[in-house]
Structure 1
C-alpha cells in the first residue's frame, strides 16, 4: 500500500452553530461556504452548501463528519464525505476555539475521504479511499489528501 498525493483542500467555513449537549456529546454544525482544491489529478472549487456535523466529546475530542460538493476545473461534480478526529491538549484546543493560529503539529487532526460521481472522467474516484492530515484555522480547514494505492 502506498500514498499518492491527491489534492490540497482549502474549505471555507461559516460560524459554528452550537446545538448543545446530547447523549453523544456537544453537537455542532459548521456550514461550508466555499473553497478550493488543487492536486495532480484533481482540482477545482468547493461549492457552498455542505457542512460538518461534528460532535465534541467530554474529553475535547471532536468527531468530524462532513458532506459537501466539489466542482472540478473541467466541470464535473463530485460528492465528498470526510470522517475523522481532532484532539489535543486542553490549552491547544482552547486556542483553536478562540480562532488563534496553532501549528498543526500541536494537535492531531486526521480524516478519511470518500468520493461519489457519475462523471466518466472521474469514475476512478468512486473506487478510491483517501486519507488526510488537516489543520484548522479560524474560518478555514486545510488538508492534504492522499489516495491509498
Structure 2
C-alpha cells in the first residue's frame, strides 16, 4: 500500500533523503531492540561485528574501521575484554602491536544477535507482497552501495 505523503515527499532528492533517513533510522532502532544483550553500547556491538566479519585486527585498524579516535577504541576494547568477549594478543610480526580477536563467548553473542535480528526481520518480510519484496531486493543493493560510499 502506497502512502501518498511519502510519494509526494520523495519527488525530490532532498525529500527522498529525509524519508530514507527517518525510515532507516526507525528500522535500525527496531532491529537494535532485538539485541540479546542491550547492555552493550552501539560502539561495542559494532566492534564485535567487525571482528566477526574481518577477523583479528589491531586497535588502530579497528579505530580506523569504526571511524573513532584511538583512545575511544581503547576504552571499547577494554570494556569488551572485561566482559570476556574479546582478548588481546601480541602481533606475530610486530611485537610493539597487539591484535584483538573475539573469544568463544564473543562469537556466541554475535551469532545469537544475528539470529534474533534476522528472525525478526524475516517475520516482518512475510507481511509483504511478492512485489514489495522484489522492490526491497533492488533497494537492498542500492542501500548497500550507498552505505559503502
| Fold match (TM-score > 0.5) | no
If each structure's strand is expressed as a fraction of its own residues, which one has the higher value? Answer: 1
Q: TM-score range by the shorter chain?
A: under 0.3
Q: Normalising by the residue count of structure 1, what TM-score does the alignment of the two structures yield?
A: 0.21
If each structure's helix is expressed as a fraction of its own residues, which one has the higher value? Answer: 2
Determine which structure has more spread, i.e. the larger CA radius of gyration: 2
